[in-house]
Structure formats: structure tokens, C-alpha cells
Structure 1
Amino acid sequence: MLGPVEVRTLAEKLNIRPTKRLGQNFVIDGGTVRKIVRVAGVTPEDVVIEIGPGLGSLTLALLAEVARVVAVEIDPVLAAQLPVTVAERAPEHADRLSVLAADALRIGPEDLPVLPTALVANLPYNVSVPVVLHMLECLPSLRSGLVMVQAEVADRLAAPPGSKIYGVPSVKAAWYAEVRRAGPVGRNVFWPAPNVDSGLVSLVRRDPPATSATREQVFAVVDAAFAQRRKTLRAALASWAGTASAAETALTKAGINPSERGEQLSVLDFARIAEHGPSR
């Protein structure tokens, strides 16, 4: 494990100064790392994709528990150092690690040495939602995930319909998976300590709603509904449908009250609306 002293020493050796631009906050608490691995529920058969491994605290803990870890790191200095750190601290598991120096938002299954079955990561705060959605979309092999994100983002991802914080991330994540909050994480387990608390989010893959509409068509409805979330669906979906009258027709055919607002609808409701949209 990498504790506070080891993390700072390694960062100094590499002349690494954590940047807000890359959302870098390194975990320095072994207890937190072990908790993430435990709550993730990974097995010795799992292939884990870890986004933003940083200096390798979580990587080291994962390597002892799973068949393989594919670590995707955008910082070339950190990507080059990670295999060295693993070889020094866990040589018996070094052959389980693959490192990809890349932007996680730009990779697909063709870029990976093996298809992962689980996503486990301390995600950079600035891209956490796009990364989660991209991983779920481009890697259908993923059956589960546990990610550490900003507490507010964790709440939004796991929010149910009817909640004030239910929105685009909530609906889109629900298209792919059952999403729930899996515990809080304090600020002092990181270096540097962020200005906000963090939270764990559990993702369990499920089939998308049974619908004749495509994912792109459903997500277009979701985006339109929450672009003006204070408006009724009849008004909010007017641009999507062409006119407010056309939006009302689509909503009525879908069995949705046109005076409802987007935060009241489930992902299945949005799918039903998409089935009656202008492109159908």
C-alpha cells in the first residue's frame, strides 16, 4: 500500500504536482483503498478497468484480488511510473497489470488488451459522469462497477425519479445499470485534500428498457426534458418534437401527462416518449 509518506515521496521523485485540470487527488489512506475493493465485490476471475490510477494506491490493492487490471492513465509520467511501482511493491502480481496511456473518454474495446468485467476507480472529479457513461456504453462486457466521485455527483447518479437532484446523469446511468450510493468518503483520505466530500457509487449492469426506440433517441428526449427542467414536458419538449402541440401528442400517446416535469419520469417513461417522437 501507498501511505501518505510514500505518496508524497513518489510525487516528489516524479516532480508531480497534482493538478485541478486533470482532477488529480491521490488516495493516501490504506483503509479507504481496502474498503473500495471490498465493496466492489470483485472476484479472482474479474478483469478490472481502472480509470485514473494515479500513483497506484488502488491498483496495488486490486492486483492482489483480481485476474487482471487494465489501468487507463492520461498523464504520461504517471502511466510510465505505474508498472515500476507495481514491480517494486508487488512483483508477484506485476504480470496482471496492463497500462494504457490514454484519455478514457477516447478509448474503445479495440484499444484494450482484454475486455474488462468490472470498473473500479477513483475517478477524476472533472470528468466523472462522462467517463462512467462512456465506459458503460462502449464496454458492454462490464457487469459491475464501483466508482469514487464527488459526493454531489454520487447523489445525482443514484437519485430516483421525483428527487430534486434527479436529472440527466440519473436517467442515463439508469439506462445501463442499477445505480446506488455505496457509502461516504471523507476529504482527508486524499492528497491534496479536496474542498468537497466524496462518495462511492455502485453500478450493476442490467438490460436497457425494452423499447423500439434507440438509445440515441431516448437520450435526445432526456436532454430536451432537462434543458428547461422548470417547464412542463409539453413546453420543454417542443423543440425536440417540432412544436408544443406535437410534443403533447407524443406525450399523450406514451401515456404521460403533458403537464408533468422531467424529474417525475423513469427511464422507461422517456423510452415510451421516444417511441412516439418526430423521427419515428
Structure 2
Amino acid sequence: MSEAPTGTPQSDPGAASALLGPADVRRLAAELDVRPTKKLGQNFVHDPNTVRKIVAAANLRPDDVVLEVGPGLGSLTLALLPACADLVAVEIDPVLAARLPTTAAERAPSLAANLSVVTADAMRVTAAQLPHAPTALVANLPYNVAVPVVLHLLAELPSLRTGLVMVQSEVADRMAAGPGSKVYGVPSVKLAWYADARRAGPVGRSVFWPVPNVDSALVGFTRRDAPLSDVPREVLFPLVDAAFAQRRKTLRAALSGWAGSAAEAERRLVAAGVDPSARGEQLSVADFVRIAEVPARH
């Protein structure tokens, strides 16, 4: 069971942190002999104005417990500390995880006690591993695992109320897309099952080290107050996967394997009020829920 937050709302304007600039990021990396790797999707933000904008866009409350995934050298961490009651950072790299509390103590001594660092893989981290129950996710996510990480955390941490994540621009489009969009697909539907998502602005390439060869963007989300249905994700998500596995196929054909036959797929689609000749990209998450709610014929 998670403990209650130990930090206090930071309304005192004097409670601030010295943010990292480009020279600071390179110095820290050299000190730790850290070379950003593509495998871990590491691109460190070195622009103080960017992390300030991210924190402002997150609309945090003073009593929020923020979860940061992949804090790296601490650029965003230092900007988040004055804006919340407690900050839990999950870092997979043990070298970076070990250095982060020292960086916080050096640059935000009055707030450093509000930082907890957990050395873990965000794809597998559990609520039991975290010292507090997070209410907001704010993170510069590794691009190669951004969507799975967000979906895992929403499933594992029911306390998460809001989120603002920086991801590859094309991924941001897919996460926030609605039915009918060319980029609407599995990530769009699965995220919509948990939350209302929106694009929250672009991020320039030059604010990262090393400079990525793709554009970045922010995606914000707010968890739904109540679930759309009693249908569990273990039932709904395989249906969504099947619907988009072959985008050119009609739902009658695409769902034949999922339902057991094309005829059974058609029966369940009709019962849910969905046109069997439609395609997955035309359906909202509520449409998928209605299909999943139709009992299978035994």
C-alpha cells in the first residue's frame, strides 16, 4: 500500500530549483560517462524554457504526486519539484538513478527530500514499488516504448488522474486521433478507453541532446471519471487489435478470427448496431465496447 505524500505544496516562490542548461547536461553526462543510447531512447532535454513550458502545460495542483518516467540527468525533474507535493522518478538506468538525488540536493536543496527515485523498468513497474500513489504523469518518454508505457501505467496505477507526456510527433498524432482520421488506430482506441487525450503542442528538435532525427510533441490526457463499461481491457483490447490488424478489411472479415468465424463476427456486429462492412478506423471506443458486450454464441 502506498504511503501518504510526505511533501508539502510548494507555494513559496523562494522554493525553486536551478535548472540544467546545455553545459550542465554535457558536464553531468561526462562525469557519469553516459552516452545517450538509441536502445533506451535517450534524448536529454537541455533547454530550461522548454521544461518550464512542459510543467506549466501539465496544470499540476500543489498537492499532486507526480510520476516522472525516464528522468535521465534531471532537467525536467528540477522543474517539476517546485510544482508538486512529491515527485516519484522511475529510471531504468542505475547510473542515472543513483545520481539524480544528488543533482536535486545540489540544485534544489529545499525540495530534494520530496524526490523519490525508483530504479525500475516503467514497462513493468508496479504500484507496490512506488512510495506514493501518483496522481499525475509528466515525462519525456523514450520514443520506442511511449504508448506501451502510458497504457501500462494507466492500468497499473488507478490513482493517475492526468498526464502530459512528450513523445515523437507522429505518435502524438496517433494517441490523440479520433475516428475517421488516417492515423487513428490501436493506440488511439486503447488510450481513449482510459482517458480523453489531446495534442498539447510541438517541441523543437534543438532542445535535445543529442538532437533527434524526428519531431516531438506533447500529449495531455485526463482519466475518465467512470469506466465506459464493465467490459475488462483483457476482453476489449484483443478485439481492437484484431480490428486494425488488416486495416483494408471490413470488420466482418477482420474480426472473423476473433469471433471464430465471419458469420459470428457479423452477428455480433449487427447486434451491437455496427455495420459489418465498416472498417476499424470508423469506430469510436464506445462502438468497440458495444461489440465486446455482445455475448458469444456457444
Task: Give the match for residue 158 of structure 2.
Answer: 140
The structure-2 alpha-carbon separation of the partners of 1:132 and 1:191, relative to structure 1 and needing over 3 Å to count, comes to same
Q: Report Cα offsets for 1:164-198 as digits up to 9, x if no partner.
A: 10000000000010000000001000000000110
Aligned 8 A contact 2:101 2:112 in 1: yes
* Structure 1 Cα separation of the partners of residues 153 and 98 of structure 2: 23
Deviation at 1:43, TM superposition (A): 1.6
Contact 1:175 1:267 in 2 (8 A): yes
Deviation (angstroms), 1:213: 2.4
Deviations 1:26-80 (A, max 9, x none): 0011111000000000121000000000000000000011101000000000000
Which among 95, 102, 115 is matched to residue 120 of structure 2?
102
Question: Cα 1:58–1:74, aligned 2, differ >3 Å: closer, same or farther?
Answer: same
**Quick check: 2:193–2:228 contact (8 Å CA) kept in 1?**
no
Q: Is 1:169 equivalent to 2:187 in the alignment?
A: yes
Matches of 1:242 and 1:178 in 2, distance apart?
32
Q: CA deviation at 1:276?
A: 1.6
Identity over aligned pairs, percent: 68
**Equivalence for 1:257:** 275
Equivalent residues in 2 for 1:19-58, closer than 5 Å: 19-58=37-76
Cα deviation for residue 215 of structure 1 reads 1.7
1:95: Cα distance to partner? Answer: 0.5
Q: For residue 8 of structure 2, what is the aligned residue in structure 1? A: none
Deviation string, structure 1 residues 173-228 (Cα, Å, up to 9, x no partner): 00010000000001000000000110000010104554342221111110100011
Q: Judge conservation of contact 2:64–2:135 (CA < 8 Å) in 1.
A: yes
**2:272 touches 2:291 (CA, 8 Å); kept in 1?**
yes
Cα distance between partner residues in 2 of 1:259 and 1:84:
59
User: Paired residues, what number?
Assistant: 280
Pairing 1:266–2:279 present:
no
Q: Could you tell me how far apart the structure 2 residues matched to 1:279 and 1:47 are? A: 46
Query: Is the CA contact 1:221–1:270 (under 8 Å) kept in the aligned structure 2?
Result: yes
Number of the residue aligned with 2:205:
187
Q: Which residue of 2 aligns with 1:152?
A: 170
Matched, 1:112 2:130: yes
**Residues 209 and 271 of structure 1 are in contact (CA less than 8 Å); yes or no, is this contact kept in structure 2?**
no
Extract unaligned runs of 5+ from structure 2.
1-18
**Alignment of 1:222 onto 2:228:** no
Give SS of 1:104's match.
coil
- What is the CA deviation profile of residues 121-163 of structure 1, one whole-angstrom value per residue up to 9, with x for unaligned ones? 0001111000010111110101000000000000000000000
Query: Which residue matches 1:243?
Result: 261
Partners in 2 of 1:277 and 1:226 — Cα distance?
21
What letter corresponds to residue 17 of structure 1 in structure 2? Answer: R
Match for residue 74 of structure 1 among 68, 87, 92: 92
**TM-score, length-scaled by structure 2:** 0.92
Q: 1:115 to 1:212 in 2, by over 3 A?
A: closer
For residue 123 of structure 1, what is the aligned residue in structure 2? 141
Q: Is the 8 A contact 1:209 1:267 kept in 2?
A: no
Verify the 8 A CA contact 2:192 2:285 in the aligned structure 1. yes
Distance (whole Å) between structure 1 residues aligned to residue 230 and residue 110 of structure 2 = 50
Q: 2:111 aligns with which of 93, 104, 107?
A: 93
Matched residues in 1 for 2:91 and 2:255: separation?
Answer: 39
Task: Report if aligned partners of 1:209, 1:268 keep a CA contact under 8 Å in 2.
Answer: no
Give the aligned CA root-mean-square deviation in angstroms: 1.1
Any idea what SS the aligned residue of 1:230 has?
Answer: coil
Q: TM-score, normalised on structure 1? A: 0.98
Q: Which moved more, 1:107-116 or 1:269-278?
A: 269-278
Task: Kindly provide the amino acid, as one letter, of the partner of residue 164 in structure 2.
Answer: L
